[in-house]
Every structure is written in structure tokens, then in C-alpha cells.
Chain A
Amino acid sequence: MPILQINKLTKQYGKITAVEDLSLTVEKGNIYGILGPNGSGKTTTLGIILGIIHATSGDFRWFDGNYGINPRRHLGALLETPNFYPFLDAVDNLKIVAHIKKTETSQFDELLDLVNLSERKHSKFRTYSLGMKQRLAIAAAMVGDPVVLIFDEPTNGLDPQGIAEVRETIIEISKRGKTILLASHILDEVEKVCSHVAIIKKGKLLATGTVGSIINDDLEVEIASNNLSALKKEMTKLPMVRQWEEKNGRLVLTVQNGFSTAELNQLAFKKGITLTHLVAKPKSLESEFLEITSEDSIPVRGFPFKSKSSLN
């Protein structure tokens, strides 16, 4: 059963299109990252599927429609900033969340322990630091033990220790078999936490897939020969070739990182094939990535397929 299906979602604010024709499917157990720079439509998309923003067109469906039109009580979500009643303490705020979710109020101590807030549980929310607010929001998202959790930029504005703590918490949660949707503008974060990823830019979906298939150091090589069928037969057998595709009379190979084009040429030559064309290309997604990340705080230079290591 798919947890979430989004179908051709579009949201326009006047002339500006925040989300355009976006479709994606989240399966049970996925740790699904939505990656894109600030202002790419991540929060708008989450806002729509969480019922606070009306879509201009398109639709979405939670749990295959099994929980009716308001399935939000089965979700836990942290969208943008943590929002609580400033004059209430952590416990009273969680009580309101539990009341809305129509769930029990007995698990608060365990939750506040998990996010490390037990000592301050009777302090008013307005006295909390940003990190504490964020952690309370994570606890609130987990009230009622929802099967799906949604985090939007959960590490935004936190110090390095806070970031590490929040990531650990998310990984910890994911081990409990939850489905998680994580929106982030940080490639590194998505890579460390997620199993699947969708890349969004200017409201458009650029790519979706498993993190392994999209974010990796593999090299894409385009080759051609006068005898294409022989070339295909020999080259696709090679162990370092992960994927291949025939395109415009050429063969596009995804080669495991570490192999050079020279080695490839040699191997072909040994088999008696002369290459007429050999071009190493950055993977197109990696280059999209570059664009995405370079629009953000970290400018990345050098070879595109090195982008990951330069971000680390």
C-alpha cells in the first residue's frame, strides 16, 4: 500500500508557480527525502498534503484513501518553525496535541526523554531556546505514535550539536519502522538519513529514486563503435558497469567510481573493438545537484562528480 500518492500537484500564487505538476509516490517504510534549495516549493508541497494550503490543481491521497479525507491524525508533522502556545509548558502543549489526535496522554515522559527535554518540561514554551523548541516539535510530531512522520528542515537554525542530535533522533525513529518524509536543502543531510529522494527545483520535480541510484560517485561514460551490438555485448558484461542504456546509436554506461576512461578504452581494445567515441560525462543529476547546491550557501567548484566529497 502506498503511504502517499501525489498526482500532478500545482500551486500558483498569482503569477508565481510555487509547485508545478508534481507527482510522486511514497511507499511504506521509505525514508523519503525531498531535496531542493530554499524556495523550491518543498514547504508548499508539504503544506498542501497537510491541509493548510489549497492546491490550484492536482490531488494527493494518503494511505490509499483508507483513513478518509482527514488522515492527518495518523501523521506526525513538523513544518517550518515549531508552533506552540507560548504561555503553556511542554506538557500542556503536548496535551493539546494529544487531544487533537484523540490519543492517550500517558507517553509524554518517554517522548520528552527521547528529545532530551524532561528537565524543562514544566517551563513555558516561550522560555525555550530554538533547539529546545525544535526538539519539542519532534516530540509533538510523535505523539500518538503515528506511522508516518514529516519533517521540514528539521535542523534549520540549530548549532552543530543540535543538528547531530536531531539527525540521530530521526535515524532512531526510522529504525522503528516508520515512514519518514524529510524536506531539506542540504544534500549531505538527505544522503545520511534517507533511503529515497526527490529533487525539486522551482516547483518542478527533477528526479526521484533511491538515494543510491541518484546520489553516488559513479561515472557516466558515453561510447560508440562501428559495431554497436558487439560493443554492447562486451561492455555490459563488465563488472564495473552498473547500468547501461542505448541512446542515439551510442551506449551510455554508468561505471563504478574509480575506473578511468582509459581503462575502458583498453578493455574494449582487447576485445577487438575500436571505439569511435568516448566521452566521460558528469551524471546529469549530479549536475542538477551542483546547480542546486551552488545556489545555496556552499559554492562548489571542480569536477561535478566530486561535489559530494567537497560538501562533506
Chain B
Amino acid sequence: MLYLFQLEWLKQKKFIIFRVMILFYLIALPALLLMGKSIELGKNPPPFLASTDIFYVFPTVWLWLGYIGNWLSFFFLGFLAVLMVTNEQNNRTLRQNIITGLSRKEYYLSKVIFIVFLAFCSTLYFTICALTFGFIHTETIYFSTVLKNADYIYRYFLMCMGYMSFGFLLGILIRRTGIALFLYITYIMVLESILRYTQLYFFKSRSMHFYPLNAIEDLIPIPFSEMAEGFIQKNGFSLFLSPSEAIIASLIYIVLFLFLSYKWLQRIDL
């Protein structure tokens, strides 16, 4: 396993885009949250946002930082997962790796191990940032409030895995960097929503929430869920999946994406 990780590390460590994206991720996660300090709330702030302090104190810091991380992971980690495989196919180095002696399974595992590594590091960083903000800004710290939303830690990990396994599958299936990235973005931001709301139009059913990327997104949903009350009144069910539903659905999709990637990689001529 270490052998496969080292292989991927040799490939990625001097890849400029990899470095830049990781750097952006590391800077943007705390920086975007800090931008909340500049929000002017005015005289009558909405009830769920009485003070900008909620961005930084336990236990709500997990929610807000998580939500920022959700966007960043979708963007940077997903992109990296796509690039990790399309680069190898465009440079024909996947082909060369196999010729040189790697088995297809080893190639696949080296990528998956690296994805798990990235998800783990992102989650660790998220945890460290959340704890740092929390401890600095919370006046009285109770152990129970610190850990109240600590389940966000493993939900965050699953979310990273979700985006990256989806990007990974797209990269393997499509091979071309540009098209794969385009599809990755449009599917998540546009296509899936169209599918879901078309379905809602015809059947008013919660099944519309179980689309893969929505489930992954709902692992760490938008914190001000009060905004979604209109949706409940209209349709009779919540805009979001419950955490346990999101976790189970995401797990199934992650396994499915990784399984399909493996099967496809075994099948194709390179």
C-alpha cells in the first residue's frame, strides 16, 4: 500500500496545478469563513443570523465551516480527482505504466489510496480549523458543545470521498480533461437539479433527494435550513435528507462509483 501511495506521490508532488489547488483549498477554507466578519447585519437581522459570531463559535462553527468546505471540496478536490486520471490518459502515461509493469489493479488502487489520503488530509485540516476558530471565539467552552456537531468530521470525510469518487469515475470514463471537467460541473450544478425538479413536478416524492450528488451535498447542508421552510409548506417534506439518509446514500454511491471505475478500467483497451 505504501508502495502504491509513493508511486502516486512521485507523480503528483511536482504537478503545479496540484500544488496550486491544494494551496487555494488551504487558504480559502479559513479565509472565506473570516470574510463573515465583514458582513454588516443592519438593524433587523434575520432571526437565524442574530450575530456573525455564530460563524465562529461552538457548536455552529462546524456547520458554517463545513458548508464552505462543501463548496471547496466540490471544486478543488473534485477537479483534482478528474485531473489525476485524465492527465494520465491524455499523456498516455497510464498505458506506459501498465507496459512498464504496473497491473491495472495496482494503478487503480494507487489512485484510490491517494483519493482517500486527500480526503483524510482535508478532513483533518477542516477539524483543526474548526477547533481553532471555536476555541478562540467561544467564551465558555463545554466539552459537550465542542463535540455537539462533531459528527460533521466524518460526514466531511464522506463528502470529500463522494466528490472525488464521482470525479474519478468521470475522468476514467471520459478521458478528455476538458469534457470531463465540464460534465463534472454541469452535472452537479445544473443537470442533476433539472432531473430532480422535473421528477418533483411529476411525482411529489422525497425520492427526488436521493440523486447521488444531492445526497453527497446533503452530508453537509446549507446551515440556515430555515430558508427552506417555504419548500416544506409547498411539498410537505424537507428540502434536505436527514443526516443518516445522506450518509447511507452517499456510502452506496461512493462504493458504486469506485466499483464502476474499477470494472471499466479492467475492461478497456488502453
Contact = CB atoms under 8 A, between A and B. Distances in A.
Interface of A: 47, 50-54, 70, 72-75, 77, 79, 81, 83-88, 92, 95-97, 99-102, 140
Interface stretch (B44-52, B100-108, B124-132): B100-108
Contacts, number: 71
A87 B92 contact: no
A273 B11 CA distance: 76
30 contacts: A51-B98, A51-B99, A51-B104, A52-B95, A52-B99, A72-B100, A73-B100, A74-B101, A77-B99, A77-B100, A81-B92, A83-B91, A83-B95, A84-B93, A85-B91, A85-B93, A86-B91, A87-B14, A87-B15, A95-B10, A96-B7, A96-B11, A97-B100, A99-B3, A99-B6, A99-B7, A99-B10, A100-B101, A100-B102, A101-B100
A84 B15 contact: no
B269 A52 contact: yes
Given A47-B269, A53-B270, A100-B7, 4 more contacts: A52-B270, A96-B10, A101-B100, A102-B3
Contacts of A77: 99-100
Nearest to B92: A83
Task: Sort A-B residue pairs by CB-CB distance and give the 10 closest, nearest first.
Answer: A73-B101, A83-B96, A83-B92, A52-B270, A72-B101, A53-B269, A100-B100, A50-B99, A77-B99, A100-B102
Given A70-B103, A72-B98, A101-B100, A85 B11 contact: yes
B98 A52 contact: yes
Interface residues of B, number: 24
Interface in B3-56: 3, 6-7, 10-11, 14-16
Interface in B246-270: 267, 269-270
A46 to B, nearest CB: 9
Contacts of A74: 101
A73 to B, nearest CB: 4
Contacts of B6: 99
A103 to B, nearest CB: 10
Q: Which of B11, B93, B96, B267 has the most A CB atoms < 10 Å from its CB? A: B96
Given A83-B92, A86-B91, A99-B6, A50 B98 contact: yes
A50 B101 CA distance: 9
Nearest to B270: A52
Q: Which of B10, B93, B101, B270 has the most A CB atoms < 10 Å from its CB? A: B101
A13 B11 CA distance: 33
A60 to B, nearest CB: 15
A101 B91 CA distance: 20
Nearest to A143: B100
B86 to A, nearest CB: 14
Nearest to B101: A73
Interface in B218-270: 267, 269-270
Contacts of A140: 100
Contacts of B104: 51
Nearest to A71: B101
Contacts of B205: none
Contact of B16 (A83, A87, A97): A87
A51 B265 CA distance: 12
Contacts of B99: 50-52, 72, 77, 79
A67 B37 CA distance: 64
A231 to B, nearest CB: 54
Interface string B88-122: 00011101111111111000000000000000000
Contacts of B103: 51, 70
A133 to B, nearest CB: 12
Nearest to B18: A87
A101 B101 contact: yes
